[in-house]
Structure 1
Amino acid sequence: MTQNERTESILVLGAGELGFEVLRHLARQAQTAHGTRINVLLRPSTANSTAPDKKREIDELKEMGVEIAEGDVVTAGENELAALFAPHDTIISCIGFSAGPGTQTRITRAVLQAGVKRYVPWQFGVDYDTIGRGSAQDVFDEQLDVRDLLRSQHDTEWLIVATGMFTSFLFEPSFGVVDLESDVVHALGSWDNRVTVTTPGDIGRLTAAILFHEPRVVNETVFVAGDTISYGELADELERALRRPLSRETWSVPSLKDALNTEPDNNLLKYQAVFAAGVGVAWPKTSTFNHRQGIETTDIPTWIQRHLIK
């Protein structure tokens, strides 16, 4: 059976920054994949919201042909989730870490209980296998629990899309790498350390392309990248685009560990420490799915021009 003859019901969990982009690109793919239905699971308060911005998003989803289902993955138990998932062939989780600890494994167990044919978990990030357990960011261990659950069974196909950091997060003032108010760039670990970044729009487009790829991608971690860049190259690009010099400061691994010892619950410090270690957070763009398929993505210079140049 070719992709044009495939009948499939796809359910996306959540329509936030990433979920909306995944839905947008799945809906476009579904236009040529006859028989494919795209659905989204939203909390009842979101699905029935009268707030203008939420209502506008719901209307846009409906215009794209996305069907709305109601449910709350944060409060629902595994049995309730399994019942919501069972009618669908593919589940794509766009519910991130903000949903709280245990959510990723609970969703995964519900998917397996429901006997769903294919599952794309929330793993849109770093290479958790390479980082391993016990990293500075403790929420990463649950990502490995999810992978263990999926690899221990053979009834549900799984697909992991490794994207690196959201590109915008690299420039988020609270993250501290790029501080344009003070005209300083901080290197996490060293100026040679590299980081892979991808925009939500590109993640949505590439996830849809991977899902509909022939031959079907089964039980694989697929790496994508908008760009892979060192902190030194990032500082160079910013200076070139902004046409002014920037100060450069290094946040070393020991200094970040000391800071974490003082503030063990500081989530941003945990992320900074992981990226400073420089393990599992970057891969060559030439090794990615998008490079092999000739799909252009938003690189760092382009992002800077679009978002930082007035």
Structure 2
Amino acid sequence: MENNVHDVDVENILVLGAGELGMAVLRQLAPRTAHARSRLVVLVSPQSISDPDPAQLQSAGVLRDLGVDMVAFDLAACTEAELAAQLRPFHTVISCTGFVAGPGTQLKITRAVLGAGVRRYFPWQFGVDYDVVGQGSGQPVFDEQYAVRALLRAQTGTEWVIVSTGMFTSFLFEPGFGLVDMDAGIVRGLGSWSTQVTVTAPEDIGKLTTAILLETPRIANQVVYVASDTVSYGQLADIVDAATGRHFRRDLLTAGMLAAACAEHPGDGMARYRLAFGRGDGMWWDKGVTYNAQRGIPTTDVRTWLASQQR
């Protein structure tokens, strides 16, 4: 299918956060809006401007080259009213900051967006299908994301678009998550080896979010599914073996084992994530039904992503 996306004049756009996801979105969005009659602005922490670390310095240079304006603002310390005042001049807000400011961050941002009368909002919902997961999943972050959706659906003043991405591809290989242990040569399955998970690389999220934002006719008030790949944990183990040229031991963590680990360590956030991603429901969708597949937009599958990391 032909991709019905083109560069258009858009109103003022504010991106919240210049971390991994924010930078991926800005790298794609800035060239597409360079000739628009508006500003592209990113909200960053005051520390990243007053006392930046090397990574923040590098990001600042990239943003300058892209023509993106940086505005310092403390999301953690601000009140909802202060945040709403900061958001009010913008037509579109894209939240690329997760829960760095603690529990309640996304509800606070969403209420401020609605209070400010922002016309179009892309919330931080770059994750699993919270409608399927519902409330009471045992993962407080998921409960908050479900509540964000309820807030958005209960009003009509602000258009919203939710981009469901599944897990970030890199999280499959996050040492703290414990799914793939490169050093020990172990791949762990969650729930069963046939349980599936959808993943999307941040670079793909940036590309696809930009395409969704600029598509005509405009996408509004709906959940849009994207995916770099959908794999079972058994397929993941095969991919790891092939990409590394090694034979990894396979260790299955059953639903009972995952639940017991959460009960034994109730404060362990990663244990809760492992339990959630072992359930299957809401954690995956068929890549064939995604926005990118239906529009023929190429993405980086797990095999290709992992191979690139082995170079």
TM-score, with structure 1 as normaliser: 0.96
User: For residue 165 of structure 1, what is the aligned residue in structure 2?
Assistant: 167
Take 1:3 and 1:247, find their aligned partners in 2: how far apart are those partners? 47
Q: CA deviation at 1:48?
A: 3.1
Alpha-carbon distance in structure 2 between the residues aligned to 1:36 and 1:3: 17
| Deviation for aligned residue 1:4 | 5.5
Structure 2 counterpart SS, 1:185: strand
Q: Which amino acid in 2 is paired with 1:19?
A: G
Q: CA deviation at 1:166?
A: 0.6
Select which of 12, 15, 40 maps to 1:12.
15
- Tell me the percent identity: 49
Structure 2: state its 5+ residue gaps.
none
The answer for the alignment partner of 1:299 in structure 2 is: 301
Moved beyond 4 Å, runs of 4+: 2-5
Greater mean deviation of Cα atoms: 256-265 or 54-63: 54-63
2:158 corresponds in structure 1 to: 156
Cα separation, 1, equivalents of 2:195 and 2:77: 40
| Secondary structure of residue in 1 paired with 2:276 | helix
Q: The residue matched to 1:98 in structure 2 has which SS?
A: coil
User: Where does residue 242 of structure 1 map in the other structure?
Assistant: 244
State the match for 1:60 in structure 2: 62
Equivalent in 28, 31, 45 of residue 31 of structure 2? 28
- Is the contact made by 1:49 and 1:55 (CA closer than 8 Å) also made in structure 2? no
For 2:7 and 2:307, the matched residues in 1 are separated by 38
User: In the alignment, residue 72 of structure 2 is paired with which amino acid?
Assistant: E
Aligned to 2:135: 133
- Report the residue type matching 1:26 in the other structure: L
> C-alpha separation between the residues in 2 aligned to 1:50 and 1:183?
37
For 2:39, what is the secondary structure of its paired residue? strand
Distance 1:30 1:288 in 2: 25
Letter in 2 for 1:186: R
Deviates more, 1:40-49 or 1:190-199: 40-49
Could you tell me how far 1:5 is from its partner in structure 2? 5.7
Q: Distance in 2 between matches of 1:83 and 1:284?
A: 40
Equivalent positions of 1:63-212 (< 5 A) are 63-212=65-214
Give 1:252 deviation, angstroms.
0.7
Q: SS state of the match for residue 240, structure 2? A: helix
d(CA) in 2 for partners of 1:55 and 1:304?
Answer: 28
Q: Residues 9 and 89 of structure 1 are in contact (CA less than 8 Å); yes or no, is this contact kept in structure 2?
A: yes
Distance 1:259 1:52, change over 3 A: closer
Which residue type is aligned with residue 260 of structure 1?
C
Q: Is the counterpart of residue 215 in structure 1 residue 249 in structure 2? A: no
Contact 1:5 1:35 in 2 (8 A): no
RMSD: 1.5
Structure 1 residues 4 and 201: CA distance shift in structure 2, 3 A: closer
State which drifts further: 135-144 or 282-291: 135-144
The count of residues paired between Structure 1 and Structure 2 equals 307
Distance in 1, Cα, partners of 2:291 & 2:191: 28
1:232–1:4 Cα change, 3 Å: closer
Is the 8 Å Cα contact of residues 200 and 228 (structure 2) preserved in structure 1? yes
Q: Distance in 2 between matches of 1:235 and 1:37?
A: 45
**Inter-partner Cα distance in structure 2 for 1:182 and 1:44:** 40
Alpha-carbon distance in 2 for matches of 1:4, 1:271: 38
TM-score, normalization by structure 2: 0.95
Using the TM superposition, give the Cα deviation of residue 138 of structure 1 relative to its aligned residue in structure 2, in angstroms.
1.7
Q: Which stretches in structure 1 are left out of the alignment for 5+ residues?
A: none
Decide whether the 8 Å contact of 2:9 with 2:33 is kept in 1.
no
**Which SS does the other structure have where 2:57 is aligned?**
helix
